[in-house]
Amino acid sequence: MTTNAIHCADRELKLDSPAVMGILNITPDSFSDGGLYHNLELALRQSERMVAAGATIIDVGGESTRPGAQPVSEAQELERVIPVIEKLHQELDVIISVDTSKAQVISEAAKAGAGLINDVMALRGAGALEAAQKSALPVCLMHMQGEPRSMQSNPHYQDVVSEVKDFLQQQVQRCLAQGINQDQIILDPGFGFGKTLAHNIALFKHIGELKNLGYPVLVGASRKTMIGQITGKPVEQRLAGSLALATIAAINGAAIIRAHDVAETVDAIKVATSLMS
């Protein structure tokens, strides 16, 4: 029952064409932009640039989930993200997503003006499912094998596409049983989260199957290791590869593309969707 619009608190996310989610990491150690937007003014200026470039959503994260990342405390994550969410909600006409797995951060972000919960743990953390339901916000459920510190040590699947689909369907059922509405659920296959290059490629080839589960699909592959493995390029030289993946995702039915390079991604999606119509 894929929907064409999702209510995100006081704003509406229209999905008649792929939306671009701009990445705003309020972290010192994220793999691509760690340390760049560590204060309120820098975060606001970057968000303004992304909105002007066409971002429909700004995804605010206070804890790095790169391979090998160390966890941060709930208090530290709150200190990083809540002032930013409040400021963006006051200053910009954009949907704000909070990239977190912690129940208290979900609750406080909702009060601060967040319109979407983006959880790499698919609401499996202590109290996260209950907090999400109480917030009345839509949720993005991501697949990850293992956890960030160890997820890339030895990822293994019998059939990665089937196993990711099964996992996501199980998490959907948990949400529905908790009282989260069917039209408030987004799915993310979790490219690079406990997956080898072969696993990531297999999932990309079957984005349409994930879409057929009946929920909007979010694809986040911007600047990721899989691009480096294919091209041999370091993080700062992965724009072309990121745009190629964004284009393929859009053509295959992804509803949301999560990206660092918003302006270029918006253009790539415009061209791709114009040829599909």
What CATH number does the domain containing 150 carry?
Answer: 3.20.20.20
Query: Quick one: pLDDT at residue 145?
Result: 85
Q: Are 210 and 180 in contact (CB under 8 A)?
A: no
What tokens does 226 get? 């899989």
- Give a yes or no: residue 87 inside a domain: yes
pLDDT digits (tens, 9 = 90+) for 57-77: 999 999 877 766 678 899 999
What tokens does 89 get? 């909600």
User: Catalytic residue among 87, 102, 224, 238, which?
Assistant: 224
pLDDT digits (tens, 9 = 90+) for 127-154: 999 999 999 999 999 999 866 656 566 7
Query: Quick one: pLDDT at residue 29?
Result: 47
Top pLDDT among 277 and 205 is at 205
User: Is residue 224 among the annotated active site residues?
Assistant: yes
Top pLDDT among 21 and 35 is at 21
- Give a yes or no: residue 135 inside a domain: yes
- Give a yes or no: residue 160 inside a domain: yes
Which spans in the chain are helix H?
40-52, 74-91, 103-112, 128-135, 160-178, 197-205, 207-211, 225-231, 239-251, 262-276
- Give a yes or no: residue 75 inside a domain: yes
- Give a yes or no: residue 222 inside a domain: yes
Q: Distance between CA 22 and CA 47 in Å, rounded?
A: 8
Query: Quick one: pLDDT at residue 155?
Result: 81
Q: Which residues of 109-146 are buried (b: 16+ CB within 10 A; e: fewer)?
A: bbebbbbbbbbbbbbebeebbebbbebebbbbbbbbbe
Examine the pLDDT at 225 and tell me if it is beyond 60.
yes
CA 56 to chain CA mean position, Å: 13
Through-space distance between the first and last CA atoms of the chain, rounded to whole angstroms = 21
Tell me what the mean pLDDT of segment 181-201 comes to: 96
**Range of 33's domain?**
17-276
How many CB atoms neighbour CB 170 within 10 A?
Answer: 11
Query: Quick one: pLDDT at residue 65?
Result: 74
Q: At what angle do helices 40-52 and 74-91 cross, to 10 degrees?
A: 50
- Give a yes or no: residue 6 inside a domain: no
User: Catalytic residue among 87, 102, 238, 258, which?
Assistant: 258
What tokens does 71 get? 């966890």
Query: Quick one: pLDDT at residue 142?
Result: 97
- pLDDT band for 208, please (50, 70, 90 cuts): very high
- Give a yes or no: residue 3 inside a domain: no
- Give a yes or no: residue 8 inside a domain: no
CA 129 to chain CA mean position, Å: 17
Q: What does pLDDT average to over the chain?
A: 92
Q: Distance between CA 29 and CA 215 in Å, rounded?
A: 32
Number of folded domains in the chain? 1
CA atoms within 13 A on the CB side of 177: 7
